[in-house]
Amino acid sequence: MDVIYDNDEVNFAGRGSALTIGAFDGVHRGHRQVISTLRALAAERDLRTVVVTFDRHPASVVRPESAPLLLTDLDQKLELLAECGVDATFVVRFDELRSQESASEFITNDLVDSLNAKLVTVGNDFHFGNKRVGNVALLTEMGADLGFETLAHELVDVNGQPSTESVSSTRIRAALRSGDLASANEMLGRPHEVRGFVGHGDGRARDLGFRTANVAVPETICLPADGIYAGWCRTPDGVNRACAISLGRRPTFYEFADTSLLEAHILDFDGDLYGEELAVQFVSYLRNELKFDSVDALITQMGIDVDQCRSLLLG
């Protein structure tokens, strides 16, 4: 898949493009259904497939006080879009200047002049451009003059069927925050994954007998609810390794911790990961975070958690 930024020189003359537009945060099952349909339509018309997306969530610029936490960072999003089999992803750098661009300018400059759009498919409720005045009606009207067809698609459920209970990034975030990891993963079509660099902790984990990697996840990324999870950790060598995940404020040791800490105990692994980036996947929720009466009680429970992870993930 080609990754093209909006200030790159683009030459899409000749063969036209079938494209879809959106934030595509999470590249969840609903997004994948849209892209699958786009690819089928493009094949019928001998067009290349292009996903138009943004380098950050537009809300982070337009209304930063209420911008959502992200399910994927840009690198993750591009990797997932590549898995969908599109020919190219066109990344719009969404800054203050871009937020003031009119919908008609976006259609003319980016969709037509840069990408040679011949087919545009978006959701029924899709809005874009300054003050969100762009919609399906405007795309249809301008497309008739500029030479592209507009198709609106319905929102779909986890089975790809039209539904009022459609898969959406908003619903996935809500499920994660409420502790419903199973529903979030079902809508994503994969385990929720976060990434961050390993830093030094307070050194207590080794004394407890369970060495952990303290993963610093960016504040812009959506984490699940605090708790203990079974999951996978992709180490720098590219290997996915089973792990027990603790996400929380460690109430046994800290009464008033301000933020949650992500710690991953990687089973049967003792390598040095400090300063390395890890990808942590949340597969199964095990239990709530608890405050134990003693360190020995905590160690006993940690052993139970690790055994449960081993059974769930490795059989």
Helices (H), 130-226: 136-146, 169-178, 181-188, 204-208
**From the centroid of its chain, how far is CA 223?**
11
186: helix, strand or coil:
helix
Nearest to 142, CA basis, from 178, 110, 176: 110
Pairing type for strands 261-266 and 117-123 reads unpaired
Residue 289 bears catalytic tag: no
**Distances from the Cα of 88 to the Cαs of 84, 127, 139, 208, in angstroms?**
11, 22, 21, 49
**Which helix (H) or strand (E) covers residue 309, if one does?**
helix 295-314
Which CB contacts under 8 angstroms, 24+ apart, belong to 200-206?
A: 200/274, 201/261, 201/263, 204/253, 205/263, 205/265
Q: Describe the crossing of helices 29-45 and 181-188 by its angle, rounded to 10 degrees.
A: 10
**Which one is catalytic: 9, 65, 154, 263?**
263
DSSP class of 258: S
Q: Catalytic amino acids?
A: 263
